[in-house]
Amino acid sequence: AQTVTQSQPEMSVQEAETVTLSCTYDTSESNYYLFWYKQPPSRQMILVIRQEAYKQQNATENRFSVNFQKAAKSFSLKISDSQLGDTAMYFCAFMRAPRGYGGSQGNLIFGKGTKLSVKP
């Protein structure tokens, strides 16, 4: 069974600074996807960034980037130039890649989340 661990329940950062959120996972699968989701106080789950395990290049989306270390099973999220609107819960999630049709593929496995506060 796959597990996702986020070891930092809460973090804070000053506006305009950089912060890194940690995530480790455990799986025996060779092909999978990893995600970071943001959940602001509105409760909406928003996809921040995703990474395909077969890609060596780290994913980047504007101020958000990941450090994907497949051998170490580590997937950290770096937020640069932090903004007040980045204040939210951040969830790391794992999904097994499709193999044919059916089964549990496509089901997301989430970590417990990191509450990030950006301070002015």
CA 116 to CA 58: how far, in whole Å? 22
Beta carbons within 8 Å of 104's beta carbon, 6+ residues apart: 96
DSSP 50-84: EEETT--SPPEETTEEEEEETTTTEEEEEE-S--G
33 binds other proteins (CB under 8 A): yes
Stretch of 10-18, 55-63, 69-77, 92-100 contacting other proteins, by CB under 8 A: 92-100
Name which of 3 and 14 has its Cβ closer to other proteins: 3
Total binding residues toward other proteins, as defined by CB under 8 A: 28
Q: Which helix (H) or strand (E) holds 109?
A: strand 109-110
Shortest distance, position 115 Cβ to other proteins, whole Å: 10
Site string for other proteins, 45-64 (x = CB under 8 A): x-x--x-x------------
11 binds other proteins (CB under 8 A): no
Shortest distance, position 37 Cβ to other proteins, whole Å: 8
Can you read off the two tokens belonging to residue 83? 């903004």
Strand, helix or coil for residue 100: coil
Please give the residue ranges that form the binding site for other proteins (CB under 8 A).
4, 9, 33, 42-45, 47, 50, 52, 91, 93, 95-98, 101-102, 104-113
